[in-house]
């Protein structure tokens, strides 16, 4: 079955699409660089380079190693910086906001309503329901508050 299989440019272009699909599903920015190597080999085969499948895989391997190394070096020197530093830290997004206690603060713990959910809060004071508090920090899913 495999004796009739031909490593033509379509093989390399489909491999490119598969690698780019993996890049979208798996974090790490590595499959993109391999996809670049794959499209280059596909381009060489398409323009008529008469090379066997063994040489094609050697070229792909060498280009893959070079592109991964170059890409990693580039990203190390030019890291991707998010416009929103608190993108994945919901607690940090609430720092500076004021809320009203929904459950009294007893032994340093209570709850406030943020949107449609209740958040656990910690503070160094005792507070009654209805007391306004200001978020000054977060510790995981707990908001650190002080009395307003």
Residue 45 — very low, low, confident or very high, per pLDDT cuts 50/70/90?
Answer: very high
105 bridge partner residues? 127
Can you tell me the mean pLDDT for 36-56? 91
The domain spans of the chain are 2-77, 90-147
pTM higher than 0.85, yes or no? no
Can you tell me the mean pLDDT for 70-75? 92
At residue 59, does pLDDT exceed 70? yes
Round to whole Å and give the CA distance between 101 and 48.
Answer: 73
**What's the pLDDT at 36?**
95
H or E, element range at 110: strand 109-114
Can you tell me the mean pLDDT for 23-52? 90
> Which CATH architecture does the domain made up of 90-147 adopt?
Beta Barrel (2.40)
């Amino acid at each position: 079955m495999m004796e009739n299989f031909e490593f033509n440019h379509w093989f390399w272009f489909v491999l490119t699409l598969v690698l780019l699909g993996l890049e979208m599903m798996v974090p790490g920015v590595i499959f993109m660089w391999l996809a670049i190597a794959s499209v280059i080999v596909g381009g060489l085969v398409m323009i008529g380079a008469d090379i066997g499948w063994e040489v094609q895989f050697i070229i792909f391997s060498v280009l893959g190693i070079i592109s991964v190394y170059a890409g990693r070096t580039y990203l190390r020197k030019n890291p991707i910086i998010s416009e929103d530093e608190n993108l994945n830290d919901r607690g940090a997004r609430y720092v500076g906001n004021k809320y009203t206690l929904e459950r009294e603060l007893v032994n340093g713990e209570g709850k406030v309503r943020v949107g449609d959910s209740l958040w656990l809060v910690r503070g160094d004071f005792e507070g009654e329901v209805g007391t306004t508090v200001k978020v000054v920090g977060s510790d995981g899913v707990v908001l650190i508050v002080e009395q307003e």
